[in-house]
Amino acid sequence: MNRRVLLGNAGVLLAQALLLNGQTAAAGRRKVIFEHRLPDLTLSNWSATAVEVSYAPGESSAAHRHPGITIAYVLEGEIRSKVGDDPEKIYTTGEMFIETPNQLHAVSGNASKTNPARLLAILLAEEGRQLTTPA
């Protein structure tokens, strides 16, 4: 599978998430909500996996890494995140972020102590690889 097909499939999954959550722009309009340069990778024998991650109020995940590219889209609430050398940031519903291969995801959790939060993660990785490993 080549990069164009794989990223096209990831795009379809994200578009479906947008439609399901009422985040689409008016008919005939195009609104870019995220753009990021991708690392130069050979994507032979890679696959795309979509995972919904839900956080209860105040809940967080331990620091971790992913072997491939991870594109995250906030479905609900506010997600606190720190990836690589970037500063910690809070992403709200409709915002996105990316993790490149093996980048440290040091902070990942619900920024709210009272409301739930959910994100859709599209993980692109070599087939058969463990998708998340502790830091």
Q: What is the pLDDT of residue 78?
A: 98
Q: What is the pLDDT of residue 32?
A: 84
Which structural domains are found in the chain, ordered by start? 3-127 (2.60.120.10)
Does pLDDT of 20 surpass 70? Answer: no
Residue 24 pLDDT grade (very low, low, confident, very high; cuts 50, 70, 90): very low
Does pLDDT of 11 surpass 80? Answer: no
User: Which residues, 6+ apart, have CB-to-CB distance to 54 below 8 Å?
Assistant: 116, 117, 118
CB distance 77 to 61 below 8 Å: no
Q: What is the pLDDT of residue 23?
A: 46
CB distance 99 to 83 below 8 Å: yes
User: Which residues, 6+ apart, have CB-to-CB distance to 61 below 8 Å?
Assistant: 53, 55, 108, 109
Write out pLDDT tens, residues 65-89: 999 999 999 999 999 999 999 999 9
